[in-house]
Amino acid sequence: MFSTIRIQTAAFDVGAETRVLGQVSSQVGAITSFTGLVRDINDDAGVSSLYLEHYPGMTERQLAEIVAEAAERWQVLAATVIHRVGELRPTDPIVFVGVASLHRGDAFQACEYIIDYLKTRAAFWKKEQTEAGARWLTTRDSDLKTAANWQADDASPKKS
């Protein structure tokens, strides 16, 4: 399994990343990707910019762990996780998760698993600059529930 983890300030190129995933093996039949964008309205306060920080070393290690877990549960030929840090603006792409597999079911499930756990486990912190001033975000309950669903479902290979 080819695993690529990158944390960077620069933008990423979804086309290039998808191409690379498709080239790891002639067995790749399905590539799924998730791209997360900064939304302009988060919980109803106008967001003018977002600052992201991470824990260098630990964050990369956590992302590699999440990818490895996904590869244990589903058939994964290659996976790429890219997360941007630093200053971002509304509509900027912030995170990319791409998974290459033989079949689409595995690719979808593994991709969704990785982004769900990235949201609740990986050491990133977001500070929003809104009209009402700056504030550090707190973990969303909905994200915690979404990630917990995968555990409730450990016996089965599919998300409930």
Partner 1 sequence: MVKVIFFASLRENLGTAELQVAVPEPASVASLVTQLVAVYGDHWALELNRDNVLVAVNQALAERHQVIVAGDEVAFFPPVTGG
Residue numbers at the binding site for a second copy (CB under 8 A): 13-16, 18-19, 22-23, 26-37, 39-41, 90-91, 93, 102, 104-105, 107-108, 111-112, 115, 146, 158, 160
- Tell me the three state secondary structure of residue 16: helix
If one asks whether residue 31 binds partner 1 (CB under 8 A), the answer comes out as no
Q: Measured between alpha carbons, how far is 17 from 130 in angstroms, rounded to an integer? A: 32
Pick the closer one to a second copy by CB: 27 or 56: 27
Partner from partner 1, a second copy, none binding residue 108, C-beta < 5-8 Å depending on class: a second copy
| 69 forms part of the interface with partner 1 (CB under 8 A) | no
Give the chain's radius of gyration (CA, Å): 16
CA atoms 72, 54, 22, 159: torsion sign = positive
